[in-house]
Amino acid sequence: MPVVRQLVISEYGAFLGRHHGRLRVSRDGEVLAEAPLLHLETVLVLGTGVSLSADAVEACCTAGIPIYFLDPGGRPYAALYSAGLTGTVLTRREQLLAYRDRRGVELAVAFARGKITNQANFLRYAAKYREEAAPGVARRLREAAERVQEAVEDLRHLRGDTAEEVRDQILSIEGRAAQRYWEALGAVVPESYGWPGRVTRGAQDPVNAALNYGYGILYGQVERALVLAGLDPYGGFIHADRPGKPSLVFDLIEEFRTVVVDRTVVGMTTKGMRLEMDEAGRLTEEARRSVAEKVLERLDAAERYEKKRQPLRVILQSQARHIATFVRGERAAYEPFIARW
């Protein structure tokens, strides 16, 4: 039996229970999936109509396995994990203090630099595979990559000594780079998908819906990494503090959006995989499961990092720990993760 590290539950009417050292998903008496607790890392509950037993929740909390809930649009609305994971204090104290000094500025700039550079590199990667088949598209992608990369230079000229003082400047720079990035990707997504350009909330087309759904799945992985590193997911540096808004999750996820989700979803479209919408204007259950499985597979893919190849989920956890050691003064600088395409 293959090792199950990510248990995905999407079937309406499914029940998650505990059975002899493993989690079992069943519906109407039929066993749909089983996963030994020994190897399991996360549980993803997608959609509605899924129920859980108290025994399953206790088993996950005892084993340090978080359970994440996403609505049909891919928006995370709840997470369950052991309260003991947030029991450390020193790191969170320094994290909050960093918001008021240069550490916060350095982190904010690093997150933005990682995001922008990965966007530019992905455009170059897409261009490389279109040099012969579509030289015009390849040229457009390379030119766009250069314009996106120019935004990194703008990050060197920020005015302010705290994260709060530079936030709006960074968001403006990020926004301009993102506009160029998404406009260029329009040349890559097949016309049959009818992609209108990047739409975040309320997306009615399959590509944007798949991107949003993929980000929702990645969100849970980022939150888990931050909690395990002893950080407060709600104490960010670029994104503003708001009740119920996990700002640091939104900060760190920027380094990984393009590498994990954009590459996966764009690849699904260019390979002709089905991404269909239902009558309510949402991804079908089959499409949601496909996106979830592909994103989780991508997280298991290895990338070059710190002189050796490591799975992206391990890199994500390492980056979270690097934030923690940086704010505690045990690391001289925080470097964003930049993939080598």
Phi, psi of 221 (to 5 degrees): -65, -40
The pLDDT confidence band at residue 63, using thresholds 50, 70 and 90, is confident
Q: Which comes out higher in pLDDT, residue 273 or 171?
A: 171
Question: Directed axis angle between helix 285-300 and helix 312-327, to 10°?
Answer: 70
For residues 98-107, average pLDDT: 96
* Domain 90-327 is found in CATH 3.90.1200.10: no
pLDDT computed for residue 4 by the predictor: 81
* Dist CA 27 CA 284 (whole Å): 19
Binning pLDDT at 50, 70 and 90, where does residue 1 land?
low
Q: For the chain, what is the mean pLDDT?
A: 92
User: Residue 86's pLDDT band (boundaries 50, 70, 90)?
Assistant: low
Q: How confident is the model at residue 188 (pLDDT cuts 50, 70, 90)?
A: very high
- What's the confidence (pLDDT) of residue 167? 95
pLDDT at residue 97, rounded to an integer:
96
- Residue % of the chain over a pLDDT of 70: 98
Higher pLDDT, 252 or 228: 252
The tens digit of pLDDT for each residue in 137-182 reads 999 999 999 999 999 999 999 999 999 999 999 999 999 999 999 9
> Model pTM?
0.89
Whether 341 has a pLDDT exceeding 90, the answer reads: no
> Which whole number is the average pLDDT over 227-239?
93
pLDDT given at position 2: 67
Of the pLDDT bands very low, low, confident and very high (cuts 50, 70, 90), residue 83 is low
Which of the four CATH numbers 3.40.50.300, 3.10.20.30, 3.30.70.1280, 3.100.10.20 does domain 6-65 have?
3.100.10.20
Residue 6: per-residue pLDDT? 86
Q: Has residue 211 got a pLDDT over 70? A: yes
Domain-wise residue ranges, the chain: 6-65, 90-327
Residue 200 pLDDT level (bands cut at 50, 70, 90): confident
Lowest mean pLDDT among 18-22, 28-32, 79-83, 270-274: 79-83
Lowest mean pLDDT among 138-152, 224-238, 274-288: 274-288
Calculate the alpha carbon distances from 97 to 111, 162, 168, 223, 308 in Å. Answer: 18, 11, 20, 20, 33
> Which pLDDT band, with edges at 50, 70 and 90, does 46 fall under?
confident
pLDDT at residue 87 tops 70: no
What's the mean pLDDT in 86-109? 91
How is residue 6 written in tokens?
Answer: 């990510």
Q: What confidence score (pLDDT) does residue 274 get?
A: 82
Lowest mean pLDDT among 62-66, 108-112, 213-217: 62-66
Backbone torsions φ then ψ of 307, nearest 5 degrees: 70, 10
If one compares 75 and 170, the residue with the highest pLDDT of the two is 170
Q: What is the pLDDT of residue 85?
A: 63
